Amino acid sequence: MKAVTSPSLALIFIVVSFSGLVNAEDDVPNYCYKPSKPLFFATAKSNDRYNEDLQEYQHCQKHYAEMRVREAELKKESERNSQVILETFMDNNYK
């Protein structure tokens, strides 16, 4: 059995630190701007602008949901890669 050297410890700390960064979730509840409905006496131009903003808001929500799904996929992939790196390290240094 080999002794743990300082480069080995550095590698372990890098892997652990990276997995910690990937696992950090920063939830953004106000990611998309939600438009306010215009008053009933608003002009046609204001109503058109509201409809455009509403479409942008719906697109933003869809994009945000897709982004969260992609984030979850990347997190799973990162966890698998971290496990492979750790197993490879352990096999190379402690067999």
Per-residue pLDDT tens over the stretch 7-57: 554 555 555 555 544 443 444 456 888 888 988 888 999 999 999 999 999
Which among 95, 88, 94 has a CA at the least distance from the CA of 3? 94
What pLDDT was estimated at residue 32?
Answer: 86
Per-residue tokens: 37: 């409905």
User: Can you tell me the mean pLDDT for 58-83?
Assistant: 94
What pLDDT was estimated at residue 95?
Answer: 72
Residue type, 9: L
Query: Who wins on pLDDT, 60 or 5?
Result: 60
What pLDDT was estimated at residue 29?
Answer: 56
Query: Who wins on pLDDT, 73 or 38?
Result: 73
